[in-house]
Amino acid sequence: LRLLGAALRWIASAKYRPRARALEDVLDRALSGAGSTLHGVRILVEARQLRLVRELAALSPGTAGVFDTRWHVTGAAPSHDLRARGPDGWAQLADRPADAPPAEAAMALPAVFEGDVLVACPTLIPHPQIGITLRPRGGRFVAFLLSR
């Protein structure tokens, strides 16, 4: 329960973890095979794992090269927008890598657009000029856990 709370807090870049009762409810649902959403994080139940991903509706808009307070972009043109890949971006991604996450998990990943056109999604496919780096508050997840 503590690990789940810490993971939700880290993914959401939140100051506090969810309340214990809410965590218990989410864990009970996950163990029974149902996904859910809590603290701005989607809990996806897969065959052998739980996948925790940022909730699309909870994302902070991208400004000044930073998306959702955690992702930092370099090399984008002033005309480019940094936002969630979303269904439109996913549909434009023709060559998905074999190890790409499922579509539902990839929706909230950052991407670079010009208008409605997907320019780059370096979190899945490297781009020669545009880079996106994860820099979460509290550092890497293991460091975040150890600091608590």
Q: pLDDT tens digits, residue range 17-66?
A: 999 999 999 999 999 999 999 999 999 999 889 999 999 989 887 777 88
Tokens of residue 125, six digits = 């496919």
pLDDT digits (tens, 9 = 90+) for 66-98: 889 889 999 999 899 899 999 999 899 878 888
Long-range contacts of 142-147 (CB under 8 A, 24+ apart): 144/6, 144/10, 145/3, 145/6
User: What average pLDDT does the segment 115-140 reach?
Assistant: 89
Look at residue 51 and give its three-state secondary structure.
strand
Note whether 135 and 70 are within 8 A (CB). yes
Look at residue 24 and give its three-state secondary structure.
helix
Note whether 123 and 92 are within 8 A (CB). no
pTM of the model: 0.85
Report residue 104's pLDDT band, with 50, 70 and 90 as the boundaries: confident
